[in-house]
Amino acid sequence: MKNFKGKISVIMPAFNESGRILPSIHETVNTLKYFGCEWQLVVMDDGSTDNTFELAKEFAEKFDGHIIVKKNPYNLGKGRALKKAIHFVDGDFVVFLDADLDLNPLQIQTLFDIMRLDNADVVIGSKMHPNSVVNYPWHRKIVSMAYYLLVKLLFGLPCRDTQTGLKLFKSEVLQNVFPRLLVKKFAFDIELLINVHRLGYKITDAPIVIKPEARFGWIAPSTIFTTLWDTLAVFYRMFVLKYYDSIDHHRRRNLAKEFRRMRK
């Protein structure tokens, strides 16, 4: 990246990705090296039952500490995996990137460009951006649109898509927000972004190109139910219990200090 100052930490959550984890890591490493900046890749295996962890661990040994590979003892959910992985990052900027290669890591450059142009604190890839190139089934488009409308109604987030697996954060944003989060699975992104927005950080979205490496299947009813339940639970904590507001400025500062201590 031209005129880029700082270090990028990429977090790559993975679950049973033995067939794609090595190409995904290799592509991400090549991209980060191409950018010419300081970089770090944290691969967080969320309790895979295949050999995802072993493949990633063996590959990481070639890169002299640039790649960190960790594993949960069993599948705890993507949100929990990201919360654990964040303890190992030390970059000035943090990127979330899914391990399935649907989103080429070269698109990280677009997110940085938009962050600079909009003076944003967080940039998220959006399937609903007018300039996005997305090829996925009609039933997923319907589910995505319905969920977007629900989130807009409940929280008023200034973004059109919350679930895409490519996001860019200034590190200080995650330091202040992550200790507050409770959701472990599908509504983690919502809880994260509404707290980012509520603390006054600027969020903007970016166009993406999705080229799925595997066919999209139907979303399981149990997944939809769990996501809706967790989303409503976030709404309840925010507007009824006032849980997030109960963490005052002093408490947030102490949590951020503890967060930084755990990363060392």
Q: Which two tokens mark 155?
A: 């929280």
Within the chain, strands assigned E span 7-14, 38-45, 67-71, 93-97, 122-126, 133-134, 166-170, 203-207, 209-210
**Structure-token match 């990280």, residue found:** 108
Residue with more model confidence, 211 or 83: 83
At residue 215, the pLDDT reads 55
> Residues 14-19: what's their mean pLDDT?
95
At residue 253, the pLDDT reads 58
Q: Which two tokens mark 33?
A: 């090296």
pLDDT digits (tens, 9 = 90+) for 34-67: 999 999 999 999 999 999 999 999 999 998 889 9
Confidence class of residue 261 from pLDDT cuts 50, 70 and 90? low
pLDDT digits (tens, 9 = 90+) for 140-161: 788 888 998 999 999 999 888 9
Residue ranges of domains in the chain: 7-263
At residue 256, the pLDDT reads 59
Confidence class of residue 173 from pLDDT cuts 50, 70 and 90? very high
pLDDT digits (tens, 9 = 90+) for 199-244: 999 999 999 999 765 555 567 888 888 889 999 999 999 999 988 8
Confidence class of residue 186 from pLDDT cuts 50, 70 and 90? confident
> Residues 69-74: what's their mean pLDDT?
95
CA distance 238 to 63: 43
Q: Which two tokens mark 220?
A: 């399981």
CA distance 162 to 151: 9
Within 46-91, strands assigned E span 67-71
Is the pLDDT assigned to residue 180 strictly greater than 90?
Answer: no
What superfamily in CATH does domain 7-263 come from?
Spore Coat Polysaccharide Biosynthesis Protein SpsA; Chain A (3.90.550.10)
Q: What percentage of the chain carries pLDDT values higher than 90?
A: 66
- What integer best gives the mean pLDDT of the chain? 89
Helix (H) or strand (E) segment spanning residue 49: none
At residue 245, the pLDDT reads 82
The DSSP code for 110 is H
Beginning with the edge strand found earlier in the chain, give each strand of the sheet holding 93-97 in spatial order: 67-71, 38-45, 7-14, 93-97, 166-170, 122-126, 203-207
CA distance 28 to 46: 19
Amino acid present at 70:
K
**Structure-token match 């959701």, residue found:** 183
pTM of the model: 0.89
Is the pLDDT assigned to residue 252 strictly greater than 70?
Answer: no
| Lowest-confidence segment of 15-24, 107-116, 203-212 by average pLDDT | 203-212
Residue with more model confidence, 75 or 248: 75
Helix (H) or strand (E) segment spanning residue 131: none
Which one, of 64, 66, 84, 65, lies nearest residue 74 by Cα? 84
